[in-house]
Amino acid sequence: MKKYIEIPMEVLERLVDDKCVEGSLRRDRWTGKISFKAYNRQSRIREKDRLVKKLPWGWVKESLLRVKVYGSFPKDLGTARVMGLLEDHTRDAKNALIDREIIDFI
């Protein structure tokens, strides 16, 4: 059985340009024709995170909704030293946030 599929011209243009087109095939209830409906995919435009402060073992950044703290410590320092560095890292991150608030307030 052969069926003809109705494809919009915009979709054919994208196919000619070797681009992928995502969508769905549907059968019209009344006419019985199969038609292709392309998904309207929107690209996500996201604001980049703003660097608050670069720390010795990581960074503090802020996005629109969150404050992000990253720390990465070498294993060869030992557990006790890494725990001490983690305390220092957290204190430095807190101070960076306080400094940011003071600068933004002025």
pLDDT tens sequence across 4-59: 777 888 888 888 888 888 888 888 788 878 788 888 878 788 899 999 999 999 99
pLDDT of residue 9: 85
Evaluate if residue 73 carries a pLDDT over 90: yes
pLDDT of residue 26: 83
Burial 46-64, CB ≥16 within 10 A → b, else e = eeeeeebbebeebbbbeee
pLDDT of residue 33: 80
How many other C-beta atoms lie within 10 A of the C-beta of residue 69?
Answer: 19
Kindly state the tokens that stand for 35. Answer: 């038609």
Q: Is 75 left (phi over 0), alpha (psi -120 to 50) or beta?
A: alpha
Evaluate if residue 79 carries a pLDDT over 80: yes
Average pLDDT rounded to a whole number, residues 69-81: 94
Answer yes or no: pTM beyond 0.85: no
Across-strand partners of 55? Answer: 58
Q: Which helix (H) or strand (E) holds 37?
A: strand 34-38
Angle ∠(33,39,41) on CA atoms, nearest 5: 170
